[in-house]
Structure 1
Amino acid sequence: MKQPENQSKKYATLFADIDSGRIKIPQFQRDFVWDKTQTAKLIDSIIKGFPIGTFIFWKTRERLRSIRNIGNVELPEPPKGDAVLYVLDGQQRITSLYAVRKGIILTRDGESVDYKDLCVDLALMPDGEEEVVLAEPQEGKRTISIHRLLTGSLTSFLKSYSEKELERIEVYQRRLTGYDFSVIEIADYEIDIACEIFTRINTGGKALTLFEIMVAKTYDLERKFDLQERYDELIDSEGTAKDLEDANFETIPPVTILQCLAAKVCGSIKRGDILKMERDAVVDAWPVVVGSIFSAVDFMRSHLGVQVSRLLPYNTLLIPLTYFFICQSKAPSTRQVALLRQYFLWASLSNRFNSAVETKIETDLKRIDAIVREEQPSYDSEPLRLTVEDFRHRPFIATDAFCKAVLCILVAQQPRSLVDNGIVQIDNSWLKVASSRNFHHFFPKAFLKKRGIDWRDANRLANIILVNADLNKRVIRARAPSDYIKEFQEKNPDMAKALSSHFIGDPAAFGILVDDYEVFITNRATELLKTVDAQLLVERPVA
């Protein structure tokens, strides 16, 4: 790796390189131009000969997602094959100076900001203590705009200014155009190293995400590919195409989509492998991966009970399921459905992705390869052994993968309203916390508290059912199960069917009629375990 090279550049050279496309501003941050007041102080410092900090450029033949225009000025693309200097430090300074030189008009918070307003007070000497650069002309003061100072002709100055003012204009011009801008140029660094430098300099230690780095790296102007824009459209196309919001999967984060891409391109989601992905490979893979993501989402909704993305035990689970549909475009067979469900429950109920996600996914992609071949993957090295106690005593935590997997089983059962047997509606906005309107403690916590049972014991997973919001908050509240179930039975002649959809059997056998909490918990935990065991066991195909 080469050592950084210290240089200096004059004003004209610096901005000629921007005009030619040789210097580019990577699009890592939105506020890439200072406001007029900050810019006025910057130019005042240059006129006074003060140091304004060093520009750090990354010299590379990589093509990154970069700022395409500043206000009304288009920034050209560099010639093919030429090295580009990406600004890692000094973005705001260099773009602010450029905005003044070009007389750019920007829109901020709905208001136009004209950088031609910046001007020099011709009544002041450049080396005085007062700031000679104003953010805009002031009444009663003789000024010249910085833009005109740098781009105007001597003839136009002669017509407008006195001899003394012309002398000062000449001094200001000379100070600006003769200023030596300090530049450090680094070359032959990998993109992740360059981004680390950018992070340390610009964001106070907050690292650029892997997705942000790959957005920059995979940008392709000719093929009109912008990973950030494609991700935004995938989440919400605003009615122009199929999107994840329509499927209630709008909470899938960008890194998960990136990892789905990586599973296709390099069979790995390790950071180092993702950073090595070539731009063309990513662009080529995008439509295939997006189609497979939609297939995976449809599969989860149809076969796994994941009706909305907040029910997904791990966002990571989208990766192997998407990979399955990348490998196989046709609908899964009955055996493959069973094997995929088995994998989904095994990974979720074992809390598999609480750690070492990258390594585990690499292993699991091989398991998916086996499922594509309709073979039973091996789980012998990581067996899952569940007992009724795992369901009896497990606390209900809405964000826990085990709990979410059980909720998915409940949803797949198509839980019905205890009042009228209508299907319970599940919504992402209601599933953020354990106090969600969709979650109901069959034995209400307030009721159990009166019986001396604390909230921890009341908040067991086996005590949770899914209901519509109004039933939970307005009807049941703190009533005893024997009380509200008796009332609902009078309204709902098919109560047994409704209870069964929640894995609840005969009210008497389940202790409901006598409000026996422990009998209810034990019986329901047993029913949940039976269902899980049945789905984890996939019969061998008949020879």
Structure 2
Amino acid sequence: MGIKLKDIFNKNDENKLVLPDFQRDFVWDKDQQKNLLASFMTCLPVGSILLLDGTKDDFANKKMCFPKDGCSPMDECTYLLDGQQRVTSLKSMFTDLFLDLNDWKFTWDSIYKDLRNRWFIRVIPKENEEDIFGYDTLIFNGLNSYEPNQIVDYIECKPIFKTKLQDWYNPGFIVKDNNDNIISIDDTNLRNLIISKFAAGEGLVPLYTLYKKDKTKALHEYVVERIGREKIESIKAHLMDLDEEQKKIELKKYLAEIEPNIDLFIKSNDESGINSAWSNLSAKWSRDIINYLEGIMNEIVPTTELPSDEINRAVAIFESINKGGTPLDTFDLIVAKAAKDKSLESLSKRLLFLLQEKVELSNAITGTLHDKIKVWFTEYVGLTKDNEISKFVKSQFLNMLSILSNTEYGIVDEIKSDYVKKNQILKLNSQQINSNTEKTIKALIRACSFLQLRCGIVHVKELPYELMILPIAYCLIDDKKWNDKKSVDKIEYWYWSCLFGGAYRERQNEQSIKDMKNLYKWIDGKIDNPFDNYYQMVLKDPGYSDINLLLMKDETHEVQSSVRKAILQYILSQEPKDFIFDELYLTSYKVGAEGSFNFQGNNQLIKIEDHHIIPLKNATKIGQSSKEIRSEKKHILNSPLNRTYISSYSNIQISDMKPVDYFNYVSEVAMFGHCISNNIGKIFEKEKEEDEFYMNILELRFDEIYKTLIMELDKLKA
């Protein structure tokens, strides 16, 4: 069995073919989409799709190409069980998702980020490229004899940006005539005629107008015809430079196939006949190209169609067929299980909605901040982007969901490390998933706000150990703990003590569950401080965080990325002043929220960069580059003690300066905030810059960091 591609699109537009909402999100990137298109255009099989007959009440649904939207299926409809990535890709390529020009920005916000493009075929070859579209001779024989890898370079994807309205393929492009008059968006033919000039200039034929429901002339037709006409004019101009004999040879070469009487026209000097032949050549080439492209809509997509009596097994079938090809991950399967409750929206939609709501912060979380912010958004720390849920959220949602579904909250001794394993997560049923969803995501949101506002995390992907979020999230589910400063302080004490004390070096699953139990009990006053052993090892753990390792003296161990991140993030959590722009306090949430500050009379985004306090170029020798030093992992200047975050604008200002020069501009308050000794400038003036000297400088910084950290931890645990 099979179905024409255009019929798939028709049925989808008419809500007769819909996506069940247990389908995974659209995940294909542009390269995957391009490879699919290359196969489709060369008429090679792209795999079958699996359909299931049913009714509108069988499953909740989701709208193709749109992560948050549903549709209104017909009473009797067909569900697409397998093939969503392919069908979604093809629909976005061959249909104009931005057809409503009045509301195109809303569409841009609503669709998957990897569909914010327009696709084209480049029919004019570059130098030394094969002329697969017959542009040079205006004879096109189709693409059936080619392989996908031969045409993939002729496929171009143009991204659409909200702000780049000067791009002719942008839906917001303002079309003007030769008199600079704006052409109304309702005058489709005139707009297409004018836009075709820009497209033809680049040799790009749009594919997004191939699927059409009426007989009106589409943009791709205007473009192909213009390219053909302009090519004819180019050939004619070339012939003008030839002598008569050579001109006749060229005329026959181009026109003999389209006009059998070309010899007679040439001998009789029949310009009318010759011009007619030129027009016919252009028209035939254009029509051949257009017919081939539009014929793609009639290509048959193989289908397997299941009868309605298979409805009850739909999720199991869905899981089974996806064990091959692109496998479903655990999150996809949990979404599928949750979909059994047809009274609810899809799990993905519910999570996205909850993640996009504003978060009212507690005073316990914000009490230590320079700016007492009250509202926070999860996108600040990267939990969502472009209407998509981050992988971090999906992964940790499953872990916390399993814990909360398998135990009664607060009975921590029943929590097992097995609960964060895939097999245990997949045992969850629909009722467990749906009843614990809101509580689970609230816990993760609160934990992430804590990590950003208290622990210097700009983006969750920079969390040194992902599973450290679980003890935080579990404790902060409780509104009492969320609003209690002592509880929050104890969580921060646990975080830095375990992070710098080496608790998560090994067996992170077991450690996070153990910490979850102990942290909850400690906050409730049921046990004495269970983390004192890690507190005693803060910046002292041999081979992990001790001074010997951080000064690059340890021959057998390397500084782990978790420690490098932790030192930078701890300094940032102190909200230090910027090096040069003294009025700017550096905070992780301002960076995450894309806050701004006034720089030379203009508002500039707050961006931070990882700065070498002692620049690498300071240590370069004759013939040596800073790049060489950077590659030496054990070089003293590559120590995390030589790093701190400063604004990108400060980094530009001091990039070519030695510390002895730029520290004159750094205030004492800023230096203290970055845990830098205020004597460093004087030391640079007196000492000779060599490894031992750098060692002394960085040892002083270690002392400052250690002193600041231990004093803070002592206050937090009180």
TM-score interval, normalised by the smaller of the two chains:
0.5 to 0.7
Q: 1:55 to 1:354 in 2, by over 3 A?
A: farther
Q: 2:123 aligns to what?
A: none
Cα deviation for residue 245 of structure 1 reads: 1.6
Cα separation, 2, equivalents of 1:340 and 1:31: 36
Cα separation, 2, equivalents of 1:180 and 1:470: 57
Once the two structures are superposed, what CA deviation does each residue of 1:181-209 show, in whole Å capped at 9, x if it has no partner?
797999998968962541314x2xxx322
Asked if 2 retains the 8 angstrom alpha-carbon contact of 1:288 and 1:326, the reply is yes
- Tell me if 1:517 matches 2:694: yes
Which residue type is aligned with residue 461 of structure 1?
P
Secondary structure of the corresponding residue to residue 360 of structure 1 = helix
Q: 1:262 aligns to what?
A: 402
Q: 1:483 aligns to what?
A: 661
Which residue type is aligned with residue 506 of structure 1?
N
Cα separation, 2, equivalents of 1:346 and 1:214: 35
- Tell me if 1:442 matches 2:442: no
Structure 1 gaps of 5+ residues are 1-7, 10-18, 46-51, 79-83, 100-104, 118-136, 140-144, 147-175, 431-435
- Tell me if 1:325 matches 2:486: no
Once the two structures are superposed, what CA deviation does each residue of 1:375-398 show, in whole Å capped at 9, x if it has no partner?
445358988443322432399x99
Q: 1:28 aligns to what?
A: 24
Q: 1:399 to 1:113 in 2, by over 3 A?
A: farther
Q: 1:54 to 1:446 in 2, by over 3 A?
A: closer
Taking only aligned residues, the RMSD between alpha carbons, in angstroms, comes to 5.7
Once the two structures are superposed, what CA deviation does each residue of 1:2-36 show, in whole Å capped at 9, x if it has no partner?
xxxxxx99xxxxxxxxx99999695236599x99x
Superposition pairs of residues 315-354 of structure 1, within 5 angstroms: 315-331=466-482, 333-349=484-500
Which residue type is aligned with residue 244 of structure 1?
T
Q: 1:13 aligns to what?
A: none
Secondary structure of the corresponding residue to residue 466 of structure 1 = strand
Superposition pairs of residues 459-478 of structure 1, within 5 angstroms: 459-475=638-654, 477-478=655-656
Q: 1:278 to 1:377 in 2, by over 3 A?
A: farther
Cα separation, 1, equivalents of 2:513 and 2:314: 24
Alignment counterpart, residue 245 of structure 1, candidates 368, 373, 379: 379
Alignment counterpart, residue 218 of structure 1, candidates 335, 338, 348: 338
Asked if 2 retains the 8 angstrom alpha-carbon contact of 1:199 and 1:208, the reply is yes
Which residue type is aligned with residue 319 of structure 2?
C
Cα separation, 2, equivalents of 1:479 and 1:180: 66
Cα separation, 2, equivalents of 1:86 and 1:534: 61
Q: 2:530 aligns to what?
A: 378
Q: 1:381 to 1:350 in 2, by over 3 A?
A: closer
Asked if 1 retains the 8 angstrom alpha-carbon contact of 2:21 and 2:59, the reply is no
Cα deviation for residue 53 of structure 1 reads: 7.2
- Tell me if 1:504 matches 2:705: no
Cα separation, 2, equivalents of 1:293 and 1:444: 39
Secondary structure of the corresponding residue to residue 465 of structure 1 = strand
Q: 1:160 aligns to what?
A: none
Asked if 2 retains the 8 angstrom alpha-carbon contact of 1:250 and 1:309, the reply is no
Asked if 2 retains the 8 angstrom alpha-carbon contact of 1:66 and 1:216, the reply is no
Cα separation, 2, equivalents of 1:301 and 1:91: 36
Q: 2:189 aligns to what?
A: none
Superposition pairs of residues 189-208 of structure 1, within 5 angstroms: 195=319, 197-201=321-325, 203=326, 207-208=327-328
Cα separation, 1, equivalents of 2:71 and 2:575: 57
Q: 2:367 aligns to what?
A: none
Cα deviation for residue 111 of structure 1 reads: 4.0
Cα deviation for residue 446 of structure 1 reads: 0.9
Asked if 1 retains the 8 angstrom alpha-carbon contact of 2:380 and 2:459, the reply is no
Cα separation, 2, equivalents of 1:281 and 1:501: 47
Structure 2 gaps of 5+ residues are 3-14, 29-35, 98-117, 119-207, 216-289, 360-374, 408-418, 595-606, 688-692
Cα separation, 1, equivalents of 2:52 and 2:508: 35
Asked if 2 retains the 8 angstrom alpha-carbon contact of 1:439 and 1:465, the reply is yes
Secondary structure of the corresponding residue to residue 511 of structure 1 = helix
Secondary structure of the corresponding residue to residue 513 of structure 1 = helix
Secondary structure of the corresponding residue to residue 467 of structure 1 = strand
Cα deviation for residue 503 of structure 1 reads: 1.1
* Aligned-pair identity (%): 16
Cα deviation for residue 180 of structure 1 reads: 12
Asked if 2 retains the 8 angstrom alpha-carbon contact of 1:234 and 1:244, the reply is no
Asked if 2 retains the 8 angstrom alpha-carbon contact of 1:418 and 1:498, the reply is yes
- Tell me if 1:389 matches 2:548: yes
Q: 1:113 aligns to what?
A: 211
Cα deviation for residue 441 of structure 1 reads: 1.0
Asked if 2 retains the 8 angstrom alpha-carbon contact of 1:269 and 1:362, the reply is no
Which residue type is aligned with residue 405 of structure 1?
A
Secondary structure of the corresponding residue to residue 324 of structure 2 = helix
Q: 1:88 to 1:510 in 2, by over 3 A?
A: farther
Q: 1:287 to 1:235 in 2, by over 3 A?
A: closer
Aligned pairs, number: 437
Which residue type is aligned with residue 704 of structure 2?
E
- Tell me if 1:293 matches 2:293: no
Once the two structures are superposed, what CA deviation does each residue of 1:45-88 show, in whole Å capped at 9, x if it has no partner?
9xxxxxx97969899xxx8765568999954689xxxxx99876
Cα separation, 1, equivalents of 2:701 and 2:420: 39
